Structure 1
């Protein structure tokens, strides 16, 4: 669940309303939402967040309106055990979802959780499923949801961040889609003529030089950077700083030949090591035949998501390898190619 959603739950509690936090514990077969997905449910039937494609939410809202929320302790509720129930709730054949239903109160420590997350902490929230007791403690960046018969441990922290360099058309589509993926997006472009015509609501606009912006943002393991200007003077500046940071993803637009020249410049003129250059994704994106800016944005964010989720991509999905296998020379590409590649 987004921390913004938890803020809504905290507002319900402050208003004296009963509410519950619902968490997907486990799924069997196909299911619309993965373990760890959350929603907050108010006694008046309102919900924020999601645990399914909508039908389970509808049932939870109807039950809340009809029966109210009266649980005093956490409970486990399962949907989809029978074929009829799976059909009713829109679950695929054999799909089953187990949910933790946690009544919220002042003892749930939601307010403290939000304050610490807003201060930049990455936290593990430990819920005792038998007593409802909650403890908060530091979490590791790679830590994931933990479920047992006795406890549920969920992870909460600062939003994933994306820094985009270059206020172009492609950047607009990348920013819009990334916001839908719950990234806090910052757009940096010191060129006034570009940024004056660039508007995406909800995106922070930085006008400083890219290397200064990277240092000011203090990129961490929940940060990603994309250099999308096609201007080496700007792209190289951000890459020399981003590749030295803890950012989990750093990518740059350009053809295979331009990316090879970029790597040589970064090593020769900026002193980046082979290990730091190995972090650079370029040509950026996945090889999906994308040609238009929206398609290229999808290919870029698909690669970002794979890296974020530690998914090893096959050779046929990586642009440089796929084009080499197809016999295309680095300088022979024509047209608007996948992953942001352009003719040299």
Structure 2
């Protein structure tokens, strides 16, 4: 489940439980250019408060106007279309030729949003099927649905667990990576068996683990919604995590270090029961090349690369960047200062 979806559903459920009239809007079809893809969601309550987005803002403005005027009071799901004409597309801020179709669902107990969220929090993949005639929803964990669609008078929408990031090491760099990952709604777990580092951790919303990295990853049973980044500079810790992570279906695995250290790391990993194809999954030096020099900039580079991989964007490994250490980086002579480590 995308972070915005989780936020929209949580908010919609809270409003409904407070007694508000709430409509859950889902983009079900687009033609031409459209600002938001199929499956995008928003919630709007009876007084016009909105959470989420289905367009650049103008469609939301129209829905707010209409619901505050006493419209959109239906008790069964209904469909709305925007951008049918060039004038309407312009009025609603849609790109040239863009048209979108929304399914508006009045929330009720039959919507089963609370059960859906509970299942997703447990790490389950759930398909929610909404009957457009009755407004009743059913939940299934054995469906092969991969994309939101309307079929046979039913809205079929798949939801998956939140993405999670396991950070190995609790030093300064980890703090910035964790903060940015939290902003992207990752479940963040920081692992460091060195107590002197964990005792200084004070960022809320992060799960801390004193386990050895390999033990933690085995316990967590990494899946395709998992990412692992090793940031300790200590092969005894980083390599232990990488050995387990590279054998897993994790969508992103990255390791801090210079080009030279990355080559040595790959040579060490090849000594274990890891195939060359598995070692090739490693992103190291970690992060997109942004010319990053400070810990916050480097953290942005890490999360930028992770986001690109998560979104299926191809990352070129042949950046037009210098391969020698940056002046003053502290990496001359084989040091391991963070600055300059991400030169690719």
Residue of structure 2 aligned with 1:15, choices 7, 13, 18: 18
Q: How far did residue 2 of structure 1 move?
A: 3.2
> Kindly tell me: are residues 291 and 199 of structure 1, through their superposed partners in 2, closer, same or farther at Cα, counting changes over 3 Å?
same
Structure-2 separation of matches of 1:339 and 1:124 = 45
Residue of structure 2 aligned with 1:218, choices 213, 221, 225: 221
Q: What residue in structure 2 maps to residue 298 of structure 1?
A: 300
> Kindly tell me: are residues 142 and 210 of structure 1, through their superposed partners in 2, closer, same or farther at Cα, counting changes over 3 Å?
farther
Matched, 1:259 2:259: no
Work out the number of aligned pairs and report it: 332
Matched, 1:333 2:335: no
Q: How far did residue 236 of structure 1 move?
A: 0.8
> Kindly tell me: are residues 310 and 241 of structure 1, through their superposed partners in 2, closer, same or farther at Cα, counting changes over 3 Å?
same
Root-mean-square deviation (Å): 2.9
In 2, are the aligned partners of 1:250 and 1:281 still within 8 Å (CA)?
Answer: yes
Greater mean deviation of Cα atoms: 165-174 or 233-242: 165-174
Deviations 1:278-317 (A, max 9, x none): 221212222333333333223222221232233333xxx3
Q: What residue in structure 2 maps to residue 276 of structure 1?
A: 278
In 2, are the aligned partners of 1:284 and 1:339 still within 8 Å (CA)?
Answer: no
Alignment of 1:1-344 (within 5 A): 1-67=4-70, 69-138=72-141, 143-148=146-151, 150-268=153-271, 270-313=272-315, 317-318=316-317, 321-322=318-319, 332-335=324-327, 341=341
Q: How far did residue 257 of structure 1 move?
A: 1.9
Structure-2 separation of matches of 1:168 and 1:141 = 41
Q: How far did residue 98 of structure 1 move?
A: 2.0
Q: How far did residue 252 of structure 1 move?
A: 0.8
Report the secondary structure of 2:257's partner residue.
Answer: coil
Structure-2 separation of matches of 1:178 and 1:140 = 30
Structure-2 separation of matches of 1:340 and 1:30 = 41
- Structure 1 gaps of 5+ residues are none
> Kindly tell me: are residues 135 and 118 of structure 1, through their superposed partners in 2, closer, same or farther at Cα, counting changes over 3 Å?
same
Structure-2 separation of matches of 1:342 and 1:89 = 43
In 2, are the aligned partners of 1:108 and 1:134 still within 8 Å (CA)?
Answer: yes
Structure-1 separation of matches of 2:76 and 2:107 = 9
Structure-1 separation of matches of 2:109 and 2:27 = 22
Structure-1 separation of matches of 2:171 and 2:38 = 37
Q: How far did residue 139 of structure 1 move?
A: 5.7
In 2, are the aligned partners of 1:284 and 1:340 still within 8 Å (CA)?
Answer: no
Structure-2 separation of matches of 1:339 and 1:244 = 30
Q: How far did residue 84 of structure 1 move?
A: 4.3
In 1, are the aligned partners of 2:191 and 2:210 still within 8 Å (CA)?
Answer: yes
Q: Which runs of 4+ in 1 moved over 4 A?
A: 139-142, 335-340
Structure-1 separation of matches of 2:264 and 2:144 = 33
Structure-2 separation of matches of 1:275 and 1:175 = 28
In 2, are the aligned partners of 1:220 and 1:245 still within 8 Å (CA)?
Answer: yes
> Kindly tell me: are residues 45 and 139 of structure 1, through their superposed partners in 2, closer, same or farther at Cα, counting changes over 3 Å?
farther
Please, what TM-score do these two structures have when normalized by structure 1?
A: 0.84
Structure-1 separation of matches of 2:143 and 2:230 = 28
Structure-1 separation of matches of 2:144 and 2:206 = 24
Q: How far did residue 226 of structure 1 move?
A: 0.7
Q: What residue in structure 1 maps to residue 334 of structure 2?
A: none
- Structure 2 gaps of 5+ residues are 332-337
